[in-house]
Chain A
Amino acid sequence: MVATTDTVARNEWVPCGWLGQIAIGTNLDTMIFGQPIRVARIAQDDYRVVELSDAGTEGRSLPVQTRYNCIFTTLGEPTRALPEISEFDEPDRRIVGCGSVGVSTCPYRLIENFLDLAHLCFIHKDILGDPEKSEVLAYKTEHRKDADEIWAVDCSFYQPAASKASTSGQMTKYIYRVMSPFSVMLYKTVNSDPSRNDAICVFIQPIGETQCLAYMPMALVDDVSTDGDIIEFQQSIFLQDRVILENQRPALLPLDPTYELPTRADASSIAYRRWLKAMNIQFGILEKQAA
């Protein structure tokens, strides 16, 4: 695999491991954007990331940040900082990491799947949706120019069992937030306290154009479930999506709106694709746009 030359992609922060994955004094060899890298854990909270040559020798050092249960790095010079997600700082929150899951598709199909309300009642039937209540009500999308993020607000969907803590069906309210081409999150109604939102993130490590690792840190209001229960719930949902994600054709994302035809429920996907096109990102995109 060849490292991407796409500076738009190279200038983003992406995860390359989760906290606790690497024992102190050991390394994890992995890859971002086709570039082999080594993540070394020097001490408890001290990580170093370097590029590796094809022969496996260590090269240039890369910037490192640890946050949201993940280790982040970048190949370029990011203009966009890591997002602020204040829920992770609230003292009574459950912060659960959920590890990472490998998926063979481009990063953007994962983001779109996470943004998608209409699939919930088919792919997550009896849990996150009911095929008899498949309607997606109108919601609003916004390009927030100050932070350069895409938001979808006023989303709601009927859910038979919205989370591990649910005991009955409910109209779940969602807010979606795309913080970068490779990261997305949602805020959804907390079962026990409608004034608060669970925050569920997906940070994507793009290994190659059609190979990803997805990290799902969550900040939840749930003092009942065990970490194991929460991880099991989240992973079972994710595995249902993975079957879809790995069978979309093509695996690269088409940005031409006549190649894949959206409907109103896809407003967030439409806004996301427009945003990607406007930033002229090339990595993982079907149409190689003129540079």
Chain B
Amino acid sequence: MGIEHNQWRGIGLDRQVQPASSNPVIVNGEMLAMWRGENGPVRVWEDRCPHRGMRLSFGFVRGDSLRCIYHGWAYRTDGQCVEIPAHPDLTPPKTICAASYPAETRYGIVWTNLERAAPSPLPDLGPEDGWEPVRSLYVNGSAAQVEAAIEAFDFGAPSMVRLKHANAIALGIGVELELLIALQPVADNRIGLHVVARGASTPETRASLARRLQRLRTEIEMAQEKK
């Protein structure tokens, strides 16, 4: 799988993953379930119950366990199956374990890495505090097209790329606003953008930015149609 496999990718905004919810996410065609217990951080698992293959993003949360919707099998946060309702007195064998992926929450963004055994550390993208969610959006286009469009985009004030990472771009907008955009490759021509802001950002400036990002999507997709 090589270098491309071992990469951290933003897959959602932390604040948008509701407590006690499970949600489908696709990274490079891999189907994942991003879920949160009633408390605690977001977990990222293979979107497949080890029992009969049902997608765990259809599951339901009770306490800090994710239960598969098909037969109610309960999985602890480390992936271990701890309850099989068909056999209430059975201690599930250790072999029944959901496949989990590395998951980190930083900059208000949930990150994962498809390298399960030995992931590289999450890269340093600057100070960790003060980030507020702007929005997530999904765009039809290649990663290169999306990156080029972001660099050329009119954010409403002079903008400058401060840092470029394999799957993230940090921008300064005007003098006091910083933007971090994490790019999630869904498929070859489908990219998710997860955007957070820091600095002189008020709910109004963030709402205005969120609207402006819709224009970014339109620009990218119109450029695609012309080809």
Contact = CB atoms under 8 A, between A and B. Distances in A.
Interface of A: 112, 116-119, 121-123, 131, 134-136, 243-244, 247-250, 254, 260-266, 269
B51 A134 contact: no
B87 A248 contact: no
A260 B70 CA distance: 14
Given A119-B70, A260-B53, A134 B88 contact: yes
Nearest to B57: A247
A131 B31 contact: no
Contacts of B72: 121-122, 131, 134
A33 to B, nearest CB: 23
B52 A248 contact: yes
B85 interface: yes
Nearest to B55: A247
9 contacts: A119-B71, A123-B70, A134-B85, A135-B87, A263-B51, A263-B92, A265-B71, A265-B87, A269-B52
A244 B68 CA distance: 11
A10 B172 CA distance: 64
B95 interface: yes
B86 A135 contact: yes
A157 to B, nearest CB: 10
Contacts, number: 73
B52 A249 contact: no
B53 A134 contact: no
Contacts of A248: 52-55, 70
Interface string B41-63: 00000011011111100100000
Contacts of B210: none
A264 B73 CA distance: 13
A118 B71 contact: yes
B96 interface: yes
B70 A263 contact: no
Nearest to B97: A261
A124 to B, nearest CB: 12
Interface centre among A122, A260, A264 (most CB of B within 10 A): A122
B96 A261 contact: yes
Nearest to B47: A249
Nearest to B68: A122
Contact of B53 (A116, A243, A249): A249
A31 B92 CA distance: 43
A244 B51 contact: no
A264 B96 CA distance: 13
Across the A-B interface, the 8 shortest Cβ-Cβ residue pairs: A134-B85, A265-B86, A118-B86, A136-B86, A248-B53, A247-B55, A118-B71, A249-B48
Given A122-B71, A122-B72, A263 B86 contact: yes
A116 to B, nearest CB: 8
A261 B70 contact: no
A112 B53 CA distance: 12
The B interface is mostly helix, strand or loop, or mixed, namely loop
Contacts of B125: none
A92 B30 CA distance: 53
B57 to A, nearest CB: 9
Nearest to B53: A248
Nearest to A134: B85
Given A122-B71, A123-B70, A134-B72, A261 B95 contact: yes
A90 to B, nearest CB: 34
Contacts of A116: 71
A250 B47 CA distance: 11
Contacts of A244: 54, 69-70
A42 to B, nearest CB: 43
B55 A134 contact: no
B161 interface: no
Contacts of A265: 71, 84, 86-87
Interface centre among A135, A250, A261, A269 (most CB of B within 10 A): A261
Contacts of B96: 261
Contacts of B85: 118, 121-122, 131, 134-135
A135 B71 CA distance: 11
Nearest to B60: A122
B91 to A, nearest CB: 11
B87 A247 contact: no
A264 B52 CA distance: 13
A128 B131 CA distance: 49
Contacts of B70: 119, 122-123, 244, 248
